[in-house]
Structure 1
Amino acid sequence: MGDVQPPARVFDLFAVPDDAVALEGGHGHSVLAGDLVLSPGRDPHTAGWLNPVVAPLAAELDHERPRSLRLAMPIPTRDLNWVVDGWGASRYEPDTTPCRDLDVLLATGRLLHARLAARVGTRPDGIRDRENRWTRAELVAFGERQPVGLPTPVAMLTTRIVAALDATAIGPDQLVHGDLAGNVLLDKDGIPLVIDLAPYWRPALWADAVCVLDAVLHLGADASVMAQWASGAERQAMLRAALFRLLSDVDPDLDAYRDALERGPI
């Protein structure tokens, strides 16, 4: 197993055996216990409002025929909590493979975001209250906070990106998955299964841009796709996606960011 293992009471409250097996992917810390995937680092406040949105949508999608999209089903404890000591659970789906095809990832995101927009009409209060490196970077990306304490090379690239921003609208805010590229699996029938929904209240075009950038930087997608994000609303969405990723990355590969951005938006 990996270095991080659930405490005994996590197994007990999720009613699964404690002979857990480490799972590949993600951050390498999720484990399979019985028929559940247990994952650390879950925020009970976020799970408290997000999982009641995700669970009924996941059930609805699983009953549709033909199916075009699936969503991992969050599972509560036997005392009806979503998180125990930072651990959350979702139903395990056997025989899945990671999706690395950018076209499939983008199509999956658009289907998911249409469903989320129809279900969640106003900004959830829980999104306002978070404070971590991702939300700080998100606020900078949308001009709602100033970057501080950046290393000089990061500050220089940040300044260059910010200088290219303008007031072009990139679409209405809605609930989006802000980390889609690494969180789509294909089930045994080839249907996309979305996991680990990272919630943000931002335009869907921005979430698409984050997905494209992540696919170029980490999944081997052809960097020429960045040329499609070189003008108009797409350019502004990609610039904000780049700020978000650059400023939340603990150790950013600045050359990779520059190469990606210079193929399109800057």
Structure 2
Amino acid sequence: MGLSEEILHSFNLSGDIVALEGGQNTSVRVSNAVLKPVDDVKHCEWLLNVMHQINPQGYRVSKPIRSKYGTFVSKGVACTHYETGQDMKGRVEEKLQVSRLLHRDLSTVATMDYPPADNPWSKGHRIAWQLDELPRELPKEIKLCLIDLLGRVSLKKRYKVQIVHSDLSGNILFDQGLSPLVIDFSPTIAPVEYAEAILVCDCIAWQGSEVSEIALLPVDERYREMIIRAIIFRLAVSAILSKGDYIQFYEEYRAFKPIIEYID
């Protein structure tokens, strides 16, 4: 990511620019700060304000740094404090505990203030919750796959929803002697159980965890519904991002299929 002196000065930073791996490989470190370009400034200001106000206990978050203009985003770039931690595959039970601590703290954030996003992930959530139709351009085979999964869930009249982090499996970092670090806040409005289901399903599909670890979630119909919706979300996003090349979608489907079979 190219950074101008103006951007660095707006956050009162100077020093070498070091590229950071992970995520979309767009983040860089300057001194003890991490800078990352953002597409939706309004959405980013909101989520960084949430991170600014949160008082984590039992976990850490990368606190945002205000620019000299009083904003968290300057010239399309957001800035947070650098925190140490490593991505660790698996460790599902520990990640679930962190998720529950985080969502306890997020439960006080007003959902009415949430600025809706418009991207493949927000579209995937809406498909998973039967608020949006499947994209018309998807091939029949993929539509049938998703329709089959959608046919296994039905909307209830009442759900307890709040702001949740919907992408935790690879965004909880561990460091010896420090509490786990939660990064890359990916908010949506949904039940906490949905966020937990995404976390566990992602660990199984993407990180090599045993499918039996789905049993770390309560065995009841509510969680079974959330597991199916979590899989619909991931597959819908994969289909949207495929843009005509659906090899990745079928790889994703094969990765999540053992979970579908396990809960049937």
- TM-score tier after normalising by the smaller chain length: 0.7 to 0.9
CA contact (8 A) 2:26 2:37 kept: yes
Q: Which residue of 1 aligns with 2:125?
A: 138
Q: 1:170 Cα shift?
A: 8.3
- 1:179 and 1:69, CA in 2 relative to 1: closer, same or farther beyond 3 A? same
- 1:240 and 1:171, CA in 2 relative to 1: closer, same or farther beyond 3 A? same
Q: How far apart in 2 are the matches of 1:7 and 1:214?
A: 37
Q: How far apart in 1 are the matches of 2:158 and 2:207?
A: 25
> Is 1:261 aligned with 2:260?
yes
Alignment of 1:236-255 (within 5 A): 236-249=225-238, 250=241, 251-252=248-249, 253=251, 254-255=253-254
Q: Which residue of 1 aligns with 2:104?
A: 114
Q: Which residue of 1 aligns with 2:18?
A: 21
Q: How far apart in 2 are the matches of 1:56 and 1:167?
A: 33
Q: 1:89 Cα shift?
A: 1.2
Q: How far apart in 2 are the matches of 1:114 and 1:125?
A: 17
Q: 1:205 Cα shift?
A: 0.2
Q: How far apart in 2 are the matches of 1:230 and 1:146?
A: 29
Q: 1:151 Cα shift?
A: 2.7
- 1:5 and 1:23, CA in 2 relative to 1: closer, same or farther beyond 3 A? same
CA contact (8 A) 2:86 2:174 kept: yes
> Is 1:124 aligned with 2:113?
yes
- Report the secondary structure of 1:210's partner residue: helix
- State the AA in 1 paired with 2:222: A
- Report the secondary structure of 1:191's partner residue: strand
Q: 1:188 Cα shift?
A: 3.9
CA contact (8 A) 1:171 1:204 kept: no
Comparing 207-216 and 97-106, the one that deviates more: 97-106
Q: Which residue of 1 aligns with 2:29?
A: 32
Q: TM-score by structure 1 length?
A: 0.86
Comparing 69-78 and 41-50, the one that deviates more: 41-50
> Is 1:202 aligned with 2:199?
no
Q: How far apart in 1 are the matches of 2:168 and 2:195?
A: 8
Q: How far apart in 1 are the matches of 2:94 and 2:157?
A: 26
Comparing 11-20 and 210-219, the one that deviates more: 11-20
Q: How far apart in 2 are the matches of 1:102 and 1:122?
A: 27
Q: Which residue of 2 aligns with 1:64?
A: none
Q: TM-score by structure 2 length?
A: 0.87
CA contact (8 A) 1:170 1:203 kept: no
Q: 1:152 Cα shift?
A: 3.2
> Is 1:211 aligned with 2:208?
no
Alignment of 1:100-111 (within 5 A): 100=89, 101-111=91-101
Q: 1:219 Cα shift?
A: 1.6
CA contact (8 A) 2:129 2:155 kept: no
Identical aligned pairs, as a percentage? Answer: 27
Alignment of 1:37-116 (within 5 A): 37-57=34-54, 60-61=55-56, 67-94=57-84, 96-100=85-89, 101-116=91-106
- Report the secondary structure of 1:176's partner residue: strand
Comparing 234-243 and 217-226, the one that deviates more: 217-226
CA contact (8 A) 1:42 1:88 kept: no
Q: 1:121 Cα shift?
A: 3.8
Q: 1:36 Cα shift?
A: 0.4
Q: How far apart in 2 are the matches of 1:217 and 1:169?
A: 30
RMSD (CA atoms) = 2.1
Q: Deviations over 1:47-72 (max 9, x none)?
A: 22222221121xx33xxxxx511111
Q: How far apart in 2 are the matches of 1:229 and 1:137?
A: 24
Q: Which structure 2 residue ranges, 5 or more long, are not aligned?
A: 242-247
- State the AA in 2 paired with 1:107: Q
Q: Which residue of 1 aligns with 2:213?
A: 225
CA contact (8 A) 1:31 1:38 kept: yes
Q: 1:158 Cα shift?
A: 0.2
Q: Deviations over 1:195-236 (max 9, x none)?
A: 111111110000001111111121221122235577500111
Q: Which structure 1 residue ranges, 5 or more long, are not aligned?
A: 62-66
